[in-house]
């Protein structure tokens, strides 16, 4: 197997999302769903959701991908980054719903609105992370997406790409350093 053979056969997920965005291509959505749904579920379960919660959230995430495909911009983020950002936001929403107080614990009277500054800060941080990911060299960004969004171990990435394990680890380490540096500058 030559280096990159597995990647050469993988669909260009940004192009698939663009077909969904521009043509409402159901076959493209089925392919995207089959690829990303199990990965999103694994991501959600790693973040603490049980199987049922993760499955429910995956359905919501994928429905959102279909409904909001018009918002996808490949210049701003890869398909995986965009989808996993939606998943992360849905997980945060689900956690907030779980933490609703019992009626007797609710405060009486008017309550202060959530801090606009905190909401804006989180939104800006998410945008900065997307920009930082997009600015990585393609080889590093691809490995970060496989490791953190694709739920693959370094060994699995090495097997899929045909690259040596040491190269995988080095590129991921360099990519994480670049991301930290980019996030520290913002």
Q: What domains lie within the chain, and their CATH numbers?
A: 1-99 (1.10.1740.10), 123-186 (1.10.10.10)
pLDDT digits (tens, 9 = 90+) for 137-149: 988 888 888 887 7
Predicted TM-score (pTM) of the model is 0.52
Cβ contact 13:79 at 8 Å: yes
Mapping DSSP onto H, E and C, the string for 14-45 reads HHHHHHHHHHCCHHHHHHHHHHHHHHHHHHHH
Average pLDDT per 10 consecutive residues for the chain, totaling 186 residues: 50 91 93 93 85 89 92 89 89 73 51 63 76 86 82 83 88 87 77
Which pLDDT score is estimated for 3?
43
Any idea how long the chain is? 186
Mapping DSSP onto H, E and C, the string for 62-107 reads HHHHHHCHHHCCCCCCCHHHHHHHHHHHHHHHHHHHHCCCCHHHCC
Which pLDDT score is estimated for 141?
87
pLDDT digits (tens, 9 = 90+) for 84-109: 989 888 888 877 776 655 455 545 55
Which pLDDT score is estimated for 146?
84
């Amino acid at each position: 197997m030559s280096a990159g053979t597995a990647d050469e056969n993988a669909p260009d997920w940004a192009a698939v999302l663009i077909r969904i965005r521009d043509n409402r291509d159901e076959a493209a959505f089925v392919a995207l769903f089959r690829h990303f749904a199990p990965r999103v579920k694994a991501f959600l379960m790693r973040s603490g959701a049980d199987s049922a919660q993760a499955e429910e959230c995956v359905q919501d995430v994928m429905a959102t991908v279909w409904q909001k495909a018009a918002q996808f911009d490949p210049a701003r983020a890869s398909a995986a980054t965009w989808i996993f950002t939606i998943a992360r936001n849905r997980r945060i929403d689900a956690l907030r719903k779980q933490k609703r107080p019992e009626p007797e614990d609710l405060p009486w009277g008017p309550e202060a609105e959530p801090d606009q500054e905190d909401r804006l800060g989180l939104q800006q941080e998410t945008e900065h992370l997307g920009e930082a990911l997009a600015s990585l060299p393609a080889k590093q960004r691809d490995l970060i997406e496989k490791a953190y969004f694709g739920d693959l171990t370094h060994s699995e990435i090495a097997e899929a790409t045909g690259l040596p394990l040491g190269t995988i680890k080095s590129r991921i380490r360099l990519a994480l350093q670049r991301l930290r540096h980019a996030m520290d500058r913002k």
